[in-house]
A and B are shown apart, each in its own frame.
Chain A
Amino acid sequence: MKEAVILAAEEGVNPLVPNIWEIAVTLIGFAILMYIVAKKVVPAFEKTYAERAEAIEGGIAKAEAAQAEASAALDEYKQQLLDARTEANRIREDARAEGAQILAELKDKAAAEANRISEQAQVQIAAERQAAVTSLRSEVGVLATELAGKIVGESLNDDARSARVVDRFLADLEASAPASQNAGASN
């Protein structure tokens, strides 16, 4: 070692004394390496990183958009379903109301018809009764006359009975005159 150090002092082999050419070669080599790294390698790696980050973030954003779209569609479908249900209910209510109305109309009509028919029948009954009363009035005189003739013709041989009949008839006549007048007016 002593020899080496002495040699170093004499021949410049002291390990701490640099060789200028080594420094120069190292500097040049490092400069070349640095240039290549700074121009090519680092930008390429950074670009890959950026692309990767973008791909991941873009994928997340895309997925979020798809999810939002899906939930929007779901909402829309639900809304539509609700609308359809309301519509169906409304139609059913309408139909029910309409049916009730029709029923009521029909009932009214039937009642009116029944009234009309019963009124007509009453009028007809009244008219026929009037006719009967009229024909009875005309026939009563004839019958009375005929009865009177019969009575008079037979009772000539029985004075006592004929006297009684005549009395009764007269009494009846007097009593029924106002009564028949009342009956005719009530009809």
Chain B
Amino acid sequence: MEGNINLVGYGLSAIGGAIGVGLVFAAYINGVARQPEAQRVLQPIAFLGLALTEALAILGLVFAFVL
């Protein structure tokens, strides 16, 4: 069995990002379902949240490759 333990670590760290993205979009979908006309306001916020949350997972990927 060959491999790099870095990638296991990355897999673990990606859990956090996945949960965060899930929470962001859950809140977004809730908001739009309750108030469909607010979609235009919520969409940029949701995607900004996605970007910020996913940043952690992507940083993890970088460190998995770099370290």
Residues on A lying within 8 angstroms of B by beta carbon are 1-3, 5, 8, 14-16
| A14→B7 contact, CB < 8 A | no
C-alpha gap A16/B66 in the complex (Å): 8
| A5→B62 contact, CB < 8 A | no
| A14→B65 contact, CB < 8 A | yes
| B65→A15 contact, CB < 8 A | yes
Residues of chain A lying within 8 A (CB to CB) of residue B3: 1-2
What 1/0 flags go to B33-67 for Cβ under 8 Å of A? 00000000000000000000000000000100110
| B62→A16 contact, CB < 8 A | yes
Nearest residue in B to A8 (C-beta to C-beta)?
B65
Nearest residue in A to B3 (C-beta to C-beta)?
A1
Q: How large is the interface on B (under 10, 10 to 19, 20 to 34, 35 or more residues)?
A: under 10
Could you tell me the dominant secondary structure of chain B's interface residues?
Answer: helix
Residues of chain A lying within 8 A (CB to CB) of residue B62: 16
Give the number of A-B contacts (CB < 8 Å): 18
Nearest residue in A to B66 (C-beta to C-beta)?
A16
Taking the nearest CB of chain B, how far is it from the CB of A104, in angstroms? Answer: 85
Given A1-B3, A2-B2, A8-B65, output 11 extra A-B contacts at Cβ < 8 Å: A1-B2, A1-B4, A1-B7, A2-B3, A2-B4, A3-B2, A5-B4, A5-B6, A14-B65, A15-B65, A16-B65
Nearest residue in B to A14 (C-beta to C-beta)?
B65
Taking the nearest CB of chain B, how far is it from the CB of A110, in angstroms? Answer: 95
Residues of chain B lying within 8 A (CB to CB) of residue A3: 2
Residues of chain B lying within 8 A (CB to CB) of residue A2: 2-4
C-alpha gap A14/B63 in the complex (Å): 12
Task: Please name 18 pairs of A and B residues whose Cβ atoms are closer than 8 Å in the assembled complex, sorted by A.
Answer: A1-B2, A1-B3, A1-B4, A1-B7, A2-B2, A2-B3, A2-B4, A3-B2, A5-B4, A5-B6, A5-B65, A8-B65, A14-B65, A14-B66, A15-B65, A16-B62, A16-B65, A16-B66
Taking the nearest CB of chain B, how far is it from the CB of A32, in angstroms? Answer: 29
C-alpha gap A87/B6 in the complex (Å): 107
C-alpha gap A28/B62 in the complex (Å): 27
Taking the nearest CB of chain A, how far is it from the CB of B30, in angstroms? Answer: 36
Residues of chain A lying within 8 A (CB to CB) of residue B65: 5, 8, 14-16
C-alpha gap A35/B6 in the complex (Å): 43
Residues of chain B lying within 8 A (CB to CB) of residue A1: 2-4, 7
